[in-house]
Amino acid sequence: MKSTTKRTQRDYSLAFKLAVVDQVEKGEMTYKQAQLRYGIQGRSTVLTWLRKYGHLNWTKGSLTPTRLGDAMPYTSTPQTPEQRIKELEQQLEDTKLKADFFEAVVHVMDRDYGVRPVKKAQVRVIAEKTIARLTVTKACRFIGVSRQAYYKRRHSLQQRIADEQQVLSAVQNERLIQPRLGTRKLKHVLSLQALFVGRDRLFTLLKRHRLLVRNKRAYHRTTQSHHHFHCHPNLVKEGLKPQRPEQLWVADITYIPTHKGHTYLSLVTDAYSRKIMGFHLDDNMKASTVKRAFTHALKQRRADSLLVHHSDRGVQYCSDEYQRIHKQHDVMCSMTDGYDCYQNALAERVNGILKNEYLLIKPRDLEEARKMVAESVDIYNQRRPHTALQYKTPDEVHQAFYA
């Protein structure tokens, strides 16, 4: 689909570039097909990404498949009139059989799927002049409608197609930034652009164009809860519910794979606004690196009220080095009862959103992974609507209390 909005290289995130490169190198499409499918501007933009981020040699571009030569013309002896008549009779019989077959197909479509697909197909056949000698008058007589009804259907179909193309273009622009944003959230984003489409119709449209998001599940254990450090009671389980931002923060560590080894992402999220307050990515899970996400979050803190920090019983969070930060900033500590991910469900959910919606392609190394994570956190905080927040973004909810 060709985009009418002028874009620069800054409009494409690193995760999107790597996703396109991965699809092309897997053979799912050529780089020119990727350019057309995603509306990427510039004749060699995708090829430039392939040369920069790809694992194959793209210095000479892609190979053009060799075209096969034209087949040798078939020659035969001239037919007698009797042979020609017999051949024409056989062709006429086959044509009638073919017409009966497609008439039965139309009947089944009308019976099982409703009249709209049949009417839509009829209008397109006439408008596209698929049959050269078929006039509008004759076609209307065949399907049993007036010319006025035909043109009314045609106008309605053209308007519907134009509306769908506008919706698909808007979906494509949003998917450049949030490639795995769900359909319901897309519906809300479209309404902000004055594009109003029903939920079921949007699902059908995205399904027809293979734009529905498939679920992805992955698991990698990062918590070591068997240790001798002191643990704190679970204040969330006891009934603590935040009434505004910066009353309860949840923290967790998740695994981010790269081509050159393992990296670990530490996150601190505000439980009320769902905003990621602090994050840090490193190649280890030491307390000295995990605490950097917490200190990053504390630098953005704007409230002076009591703050509770909730996490699992990982050795990093229970360590003296991490607990000193709590005492220094008067932060109350809360922990799960054991290794139970459901007692820290919000933090696990944020982990899943980042990994399953934004960090889709394995980065090359730690530096590239850090850039992808920073981009993803910004998009999550500023652009992603949440159902639990009445389709507001975390930044909108958080800033509403400090405007």
pLDDT per position as a tens digit, 67-103:
334 444 444 567 778 778 888 888 888 888 877 777 7
Distance between CA atoms of residues 9 and 13, nearest Å: 8
Indicate the helix (H) or strand (E) that contains 310: strand 307-311
Helix 45-53 with 14-25: angle, nearest 10 deg: 90
Span 105-123, average pLDDT: 69
Where is average pLDDT lowest: 42-46, 229-233, 293-297, 347-351?
229-233
Span 107-122, average pLDDT: 68
Q: Give the per-residue pLDDT at 248.
A: 95
Span 270-284, average pLDDT: 95
What are the pLDDT digits (tens) for 320-344? 999 999 999 999 999 988 666 788 8
Q: Is the pLDDT score of 110 beyond 80?
A: no
Span 198-207, average pLDDT: 88
Distance between CA atoms of residues 396 and 401, nearest Å: 9
Distance between CA atoms of residues 253 and 316, nearest Å: 10
Q: Give the per-residue pLDDT at 115.
A: 53
Question: Read out DSSP for 363-394?
Answer: -SSHHHHHHHHHHHHHHHHHT--BGGGTTB-H
Q: Give the per-residue pLDDT at 391.
A: 92
What are the pLDDT digits (tens) for 151-189? 888 888 888 888 989 999 999 888 888 888 888 889 998
Residue type, 286: K
Q: Give the per-residue pLDDT at 294.
A: 95
What are the pLDDT digits (tens) for 280-330? 999 999 999 999 999 999 999 988 889 999 998 888 998 899 999 999 999
Q: What φ, ψ does residue 236 adopt, rounded to 5°?
A: -70, -40
What are the pLDDT digits (tens) for 27-51? 888 888 888 888 888 878 888 888 8
Q: Give the per-residue pLDDT at 93.
A: 86
Q: Give the per-residue pLDDT at 42.
A: 80
**Residues linked to residue 256 through DSSP beta bridges, in sequence order:** 263
Torsion sign, CA atoms 238, 244, 249, 250 = positive
Q: What φ, ψ does residue 327 adopt, rounded to 5°?
A: -65, -40
- Per-residue b or e along 114-130, where b marks 16 or more CB atoms closer than 10 Å to that residue's CB: eeeebbeebbeebbeee
pLDDT-derived band at 117, boundaries 50, 70, 90? low
Q: Give the per-residue pLDDT at 284.
A: 92
pLDDT-derived band at 3, boundaries 50, 70, 90? low
CB atoms within 10 A of CB 38: 21
Indicate the helix (H) or strand (E) that contains 266: strand 261-270
Radius of gyration, CA atoms only, the chain: 30
Supply the mean pLDDT for the chain.
84
Q: Give the per-residue pLDDT at 125.
A: 79
Please, are residues 199 and 183 in contact by the beta-carbon 8 Å criterion? yes
Q: Is the pLDDT score of 216 beyond 70?
A: no
The side-by-side arrangement of strands in the sheet containing 331-335 is 276-282, 261-270, 248-258, 307-311, 331-335
Q: What are the E-state strand segments in 275-335? A: 276-282, 307-311, 331-335
What's 342's DSSP letter? G
Task: Give me the percent of the chain exceeding a pLDDT of 90.
Answer: 31
Distance between CA atoms of residues 380 and 394, nearest Å: 8
Q: Give the per-residue pLDDT at 16.
A: 87
Span 222-246, average pLDDT: 76
Nearest CA to 354 among 261, 273, 246, 281? 281
Q: Give the per-residue pLDDT at 114.
A: 61
The first and second tokens of residue 174, run together, are 């949003």
Span 258-273, average pLDDT: 94
User: pTM, whole model, 2 decimals?
Assistant: 0.66
- Sort 332 into a burial class: Cβ within 10 Å, 0-12 / 13-18 / 19+: middle
